Structure 1
Amino acid sequence: MKHLKLTIVFFLTAMLSFAEVSNSEKEALVALYNSTNGASWNTTWDLEAPINTWHGVTVQDSKVVGLNLSFNNLKGQLPTEIGNLIHLKSINLGFNKINGTLPESISKLKSLENLELFLNQFEGNIPSWIGELKNLEIVALYSNKFTGEIPESITNLTALKSLELGSNYLEGNIPFSINKLTQLKKLSLLDNKLVGEIPETISQLTNLEELVLSNNQLSGALPFQLSQLENLSLVMLSDNNLNNEYVTIVDNNPSKSSLFLEDKTVVDND
């Protein structure tokens, strides 16, 4: 009898852990499936099967907390309903063929920590509401067709550790208040149309490990204070209009340094 009770408890616990998610979340997933040609995905969904069995969907406590459909041949636009996945912590739709602008409903995903939409065909501005997603740690929007300026509001993401906006059509300056991103380890803005000087405030990012600003139209002097960032081990500044004759950035390994010459070439000394 005791063993029977334990079996029943275990069964009920298992049933609860795989309970169906809310209708609004299911509708959001189905809307994503329909708007991105789900029938032609590399790995598609059986819409009649339990949601926790759907490829790339992570369910915890009857809530959709993860969505990873990278490299899965998604074509189309993101539906407004995606904002109903309010428990999402991570979304990775990288390396697909999604186009259009980012729906404003994404701003409702307040629990989001990872936003990875790289290697798609998104266009329009990077919206200012991105600064409302205060839990974001990773933003990877590189290799799309985003235009306009980097929104100042992005510097409100004080938990951010990686910001990758390279290979777009972004213009304007690097936000001066970039120093608010005190947890930032990787900043990649290469291959855009950014102008102006590299703000000295970047040198206040003491956790910075990678700084990639190549292939822009940046001018002026490279902040010498960058050489004082102890964690900085990779700096790429080639193909800009910087007027430094040379600046040497040395990382924690005394045997390795990177020399940035006036002709914007980078020489790594190992």
Structure 2
Amino acid sequence: MTDATTRFGGFAEEYDRVRPRPPAELVPLISQWAGTSTPDVVDLGAGTGLSTALWPSAIGVEPDPGMRAVAAARGLRVIDGTAEATTLPDNCADVVTAGQALHWFDPERTFPEIARILRPGGVFAAFDCDWPPAVDAECFATYLEVEANYRVLEVRHHVRPAYAEKTDHVARLRDSGLFRHVAEIALHARDTGDADRFVDILRSQGGVVALLERGITEDEIGLTRLRQVARRRIPEPRTWWWTYRVRLAVV
């Protein structure tokens, strides 16, 4: 069984190249909820810094050294740590974020850690995009079919770490008793990509990488079929539409 903290190790640059950048609208939204236009921000599970970079001077927290190296190369401050043990002082942040990451954290240890480092009235914002982006109907359906297949293969080949269902994030935040207000909203973002990037989005999923490393072929996973459909349906770069689900919790 693989470990979630190292699931994306070894392909940080590829991950950074194909993954979507979170929408800039997150900044005024989260800042408004936090009641300050210049919040001190901590980004948990920062990875290569895609969400850390939204903020002028955020501190990222990331356990994987390959991911931290990519973030550092873009001039971001990302420290070694986990969501469950950040090593940061009490009451040091107005905002704590988790982009594409909360489902990998242990909620029983993470939520108290978030509450510890947030100042009174501070906001925890966890956001994830829906996979895949809306580009083309046939590509969308094929992606979901291949995704379902690779998840079966993950279990069969013991490469799926424990994780929390994203649909349960709001309930877990409320049930923790650590947050006064919890809400979920949706934001939409525009992006651009071609057929190869559409396939690489799925190829950048940790489970797919782990399966390929185990010797499972692209044919068996379904990547070959997805590539054929994408190249037929997206012959040139097209506009992509992402939906982001944002959970906001106030201490």
TM-score > 0.5 by shorter chain: no
Which has the larger Rg? 1
* TM-score between the two structures when normalised by the length of structure 1: 0.23
Larger proportion of helix: 2
Considering Cα pairs closer than 8 Å and 6+ residues apart, tell me whether 1 or 2 has the greater RCO.
2
Larger proportion of strand: 1
